[in-house]
Amino acid sequence: MFKRTFKRSSHHGASNDRGSRPFHRGHRGQPRSGGGRNFSQHIDVSKFINKTAATPEVAVFKPEHDFTDFKIDDRLKQNILKKGYTTPTPIQDRAIPCILQGLDIVGIANTGTGKTAAFLIPLINKALVNKKESVLIVVPTRELAIQIEEEFRAFNKGLGLFGVVCVGGTGLGKQVSELRYHNNFVIGTPGRLKDLIDRGSLDLSKFKTVVLDEADRMLDMGFIHSMRFMMSKMPKEKHTLFFSATMSREIEMLIKDFLRNPVSVSVKQGDTALGIHQDIVRVEKGKNKIDVLHGLLIKNDFSKVLVFGKTKHGVERLSKELIRRGLKAESIHGNKTQGRRQVALSLFKSSRVQVLVATDVAARGIDVADISHVINYDIPSTYDDYVHRIGRTGRAGKRGKALTFVE
């Protein structure tokens, strides 16, 4: 029997999703922004201040289920326990039973709430029941695809399911080769998936289950036509799972077009997680901005810090300056190969570097549990970008701090 593993085909090559042409629109390779709210030009400083998280009074969530209660394969239950999962998060507690019943889902949840496991666990079980099952998972960025891949590998240990990651930044050849075999899971970004469909390497007519993850970001990044194209290539009768952090008129239209009598599962408690203490850092006239940042980073409680800059070149310059000043820093941005970005992220995750300086696009999909601070060194272009940036801290019920520099 031909044995395959879940290939990490996305870890090498150029930085942008070459099949994702919308990446090249807008300002200097940055994605288009939705909603027209340009906070870099019209700053409402109060949006960046929310100090209630210092002493949050959050009701303790009491799930209706344990993972052992779900009607899933016992081997999958063992893999869940091995990952250290004992109590479902709100999105998992509410979504998993519905997905197991085959219902279409609209999941509205902040980042860091455990939604990846919320759809992977029931869909892996679905593929175990029927090994011919094919699941398509569409995500906005390769970083998120890799994060989902890592989760899949852990849940799938010893279960014998196959999958492939289809993203830009690596040659098509390897992905085309993998797609010649049956894959229970295909995870990809819209541009690369469309390229593979156009080349005849990916036939979606046999995929009866689809996950659209971070649909709001895909919409913002200009992937709406690719999303509609892929959905049109799938069977009319299909199981659709739709996840978004925000709900807009455009998102509501997509839900109406793509889903059948969906169950809404919303666990969102405001734009940002309750455990994030938000404040601004005013850079007084005559002071050097980099000096102010340096003064913060040398404080003891700034243990693992994600710093956001606007441009690729600015991020690289900033990281080099922090290194010159004796700080352990790395950078991720569009001019770095995927391999180098993964090395930088690995160093950050393992706390071998204290500071990771990133652009918005490169940081999407980062899932690091213990980031102490997010610092907006450059003000984000939109409020939605701000929400996604600071959502990298205060994850999984932990507390975090978000600071925005204002000059």
Instruction: Tell me how crowded residue 334 is: count the other CB atoms within 10 A of its CB.
Output: 18
Answer yes or no: do 195 and 77 share one domain. yes
Domain boundary among 229, 244, 266: 266
Answer yes or no: do 41 and 189 share one domain. no
Question: What local confidence, expressed as pLDDT, does residue 23 receive?
Answer: 28
Query: For residues 130 and 153, is the Cβ–Cβ distance under 8 A?
Result: no
Question: What local confidence, expressed as pLDDT, does residue 221 receive?
Answer: 80
Answer yes or no: do 150 and 219 share one domain. yes
Whether 10 maps to a domain, the answer reads no
Return the HEC string of the chain: CCCCCCCCCCCCCCCCCCCCHHHHCCCCCCCCCCCCCCCCCCCCHHHHCEHHHHCCCCCCCCCCCCHHHCCCCHHHHHHHHHCCCCCCCHHHHHHHHHHHCCCCEEEECCCCCCHHHHHHHHHHHHHHHCCCCCEEEECCCHHHHHHHHHHHHHHCCCCCCCEEEECCCCCHHHHHHHCCCCCCEEEECHHHHHHHHHCCCCCHHHCCEEEECCHHHHHHCCCHHHHHHHHHCCCCCCEEEEEECCCCHHHHHHHHHHCCCCEEEECCCCCCCCCEEEEEEECCCCCCHHHHHHHHHCCCCCCCEEEECCCHHHHHHHHHHHHHCCCCEEEECCCCCHHHHHHHHHHHHCCCCCEEEECHHHHCCCCCCCCCEEEECCCCCCHHHHHHHHCCCCHHHCCEEEEEEEC
Q: What confidence tier does 8 reach under pLDDT thresholds 50, 70, 90?
A: very low
Taking only the tens place, the pLDDT of each residue in 244-258 is 887 778 888 899 999
Answer yes or no: do 277 and 399 share one domain. yes
Question: What local confidence, expressed as pLDDT, does residue 286 receive?
Answer: 85
Give the domain CATH number at 38.
Answer: 3.40.50.300
Look at the block and give the residue holding tokens 């997509």: 254
Q: What confidence tier does 396 reach under pLDDT thresholds 50, 70, 90?
A: low
Answer yes or no: do 102 and 215 share one domain. yes
Task: Look up the domain containing 357 and give its range.
Answer: 33-57+271-406
Residue 58 pLDDT > 60, yes or no?
no
Whether 62 maps to a domain, the answer reads no
Question: What local confidence, expressed as pLDDT, does residue 341 receive?
Answer: 85
Answer yes or no: do 259 and 295 share one domain. no
Answer yes or no: do 197 and 275 share one domain. no
CA gap 65, 70 in Å, rounded: 7
Taking only the tens place, the pLDDT of each residue in 151-200 is 999 999 999 999 999 998 777 899 999 999 999 999 999 999 999 999 99
Query: Could you tell me what percent of the chain has a pLDDT over 90?
Result: 55
Give the closest residue to 274 by CA, choosing from 59, 113, 53, 110: 53
Domain boundary among 231, 266, 301: 266
Q: What confidence tier does 20 reach under pLDDT thresholds 50, 70, 90?
A: very low
Answer yes or no: do 133 and 71 share one domain. yes
Mean pLDDT, the chain, integer: 83
Q: Which range, of 65-69, 120-124, 155-159, averages the lowest pLDDT? A: 65-69
CA gap 244, 384 in Å, rounded: 12
Question: What local confidence, expressed as pLDDT, does residue 28 receive?
Answer: 33
Q: Which range, of 151-155, 172-176, 218-222, 365-369, averages the lowest pLDDT? A: 365-369
Q: Which range, of 107-111, 139-143, 351-355, averages the lowest pLDDT? A: 107-111
Query: For residues 366 and 360, is the Cβ–Cβ distance under 8 A?
Result: no
Output the pTM of the full model. Answer: 0.66
Question: What local confidence, expressed as pLDDT, does residue 273 receive?
Answer: 65
Domain boundary among 220, 248, 266: 266
Q: What confidence tier does 272 reach under pLDDT thresholds 50, 70, 90?
A: low
Answer yes or no: do 161 and 218 share one domain. yes
Sign of CA dihedral 170, 202, 210, 89: negative
Structure tokens at 38: 């340009």
| Mean pLDDT of all residues in 68-78 | 94
What amino acid is encoded at 87 in this protein? Answer: T
Question: What local confidence, expressed as pLDDT, does residue 17 receive?
Answer: 40
pLDDT: is 336 or 190 the higher one?
Answer: 190
| Mean pLDDT of all residues in 255-271 | 84
Look at the block and give the residue holding tokens 């071998």: 352
Whether 164 maps to a domain, the answer reads yes
Residue 303 pLDDT > 70, yes or no?
yes
CA gap 242, 131 in Å, rounded: 23
Query: For residues 150 and 11, is the Cβ–Cβ distance under 8 A?
Result: no
Q: Is 226 exposed, middle or buried (0-12, 13-18, 19+ CB in 10 A)?
A: buried
CA gap 168, 15 in Å, rounded: 8
Domains contained in the chain, number: 2
Whether 72 maps to a domain, the answer reads yes
